[in-house]
Amino acid sequence: DSGVTQTPKHLITATGQRVTLRCSPRSGDLSVYWYQQSLDQGLQFLIQYYNGEERAKGNILERFSAQQFPDLHSELNLSSLELGDSALYFCASSVGGRGLAGELFFGEGSRLTVL
Amino acid sequence: AQSVTQPDIHITVSEGASLELRCNYSYGATPYLFWYVQSPGQGLQLLLKYFSGDTLVQGIKGFEAEFKRSQSSFNLRKPSVHWSDAAEYFCAVVRNRDDKIIFGKGTRLHILP
């Protein structure tokens, strides 16, 4: 158990819809990272938040947005969903936003299926 | 641009055999190097890391990796694999303490009984 909690574990929705994925980081971790994993694209970094502020941005679509709340949990919002958005979405956390940035602790992921 | 390459997409070994998974990075200076494992249906878990010092690092689950500066490589090894080692393995690189992590595309390990 990594200590990172993601909900829901599975989600099935239709094209054009909007979903919210939730992540609770490990106790004491200030950074949250979101990744998308699909068979064709592999593991893609989406975005990082550190203590409530956006720290780094990766290949995140404009239809996607995220935020980190004062209690440090994070939500990833996916809107106007397309079939190609079907993927496993991982949240990871780390102690800091700078320093030893590679030591990430991953949740078990939220599997999104868009029909 | 910094990148990390895992040349083998799939590798199959017999249970009890030795294993080596390859990882190469492209960056002038010595980065921070990591290996993560993803078991089926699970998130990624850190196996081991290299920051500096001894070039042979030990990790969890009996894995080790050796950093070779001359070859820009950080290969993962295990002397005798177990069926439970079947998983996907990701090599990762961080250029410096303030940079973001870059993951390779992964190597899927299959174990023959």
- Reduce the secondary structure of chain B to three states and give it as a string: CCEEECCCCEEEEECCCCEEECCEEECCCCCEEEEEEECCCCCEEEEEEECCCCCEEECHHHCEEEEEHHHCEEEEEECCCCHHHCEEEEEEEECCCCCCEEECCCEEEEEEC
Distances (CA, A) of B86 to B37, B40, B109: 10, 8, 5
Query: Is the pLDDT confidence value at A101 over 60?
Result: no
Mean pLDDT value of segment B17-39: 91
Site from A104, A105, A108, A110 to mutate, B interface, most B CB atoms within 10 angstroms: A104
Does residue A102 sit at the B interface (CB-CB below 8 Å)? Answer: yes
Contact across the interface for A2 and B45, Cβ inside 8 Å: yes
Query: Within 10 A of B96 (CB to CB), how many other CB atoms are there?
Result: 13
Q: Say if strands B24-26 and B3-5 run parallel, antiparallel, or are unpaired.
A: antiparallel
Rounded distance, CA B41 to CA A89, Å? Answer: 12
* Residue showing tokens 């030893």: A100
Tell me the C-alpha distance between B44 and B37, whole Å: 5
**Phi, psi angles (nearest 5°) of residue A65:** -145, 160
pLDDT bracket for residue B31 (50, 70, 90) = confident
Single-letter code of the amino acid located at A49: Y
In b/e form, how buried is each residue of B45-67, taking b as 16+ CB within 10 angstroms? bbbbbbeeeeeebebeeebbbbb
For B100, which of A43, A56, A106 is closest by C-beta distance? A56
Helix (H, G, I), strand (E, B) or coil at A110: strand
Chain A CB contacts of B59 under 8 Å are none
Q: List all residues of chain A from 10 to 49 with a beta carbon under 8 Å from chain B.
A: 42-43, 45, 48
Judge: A102–B32 Cβ closer than 8 Å, yes or no.
yes
| pLDDT one-digit tens code per residue, B37-82 | 999 888 999 999 998 888 999 999 999 999 999 999 999 999 999 9
- Choose among B44, B49, B97: nearest Cβ to A106: B44
* CB-CB under 8 Å, A48 with B49: no
- Assess whether pLDDT exceeds 70 at residue A99: no
- Judging contacts by C-beta atoms under 8 Å, the chain B residues touching residue A105 are 46
Does the distance separating the beta carbons of A45 and B100 come in below 8 Å?
Answer: yes
Whole-angstrom distance, CA of residue B58 vs CA of residue B40: 23
A101 or A46, greater pLDDT: A46
Q: Quick one: pLDDT at residue B101? A: 83
The 10s digit of each residue's pLDDT in A57-83 is: 888 999 999 999 999 999 999 999 999
| Chain B neighbors of A106, CB-CB under 8 A | 43-45
| Mean pLDDT score across all residues of chain A | 92
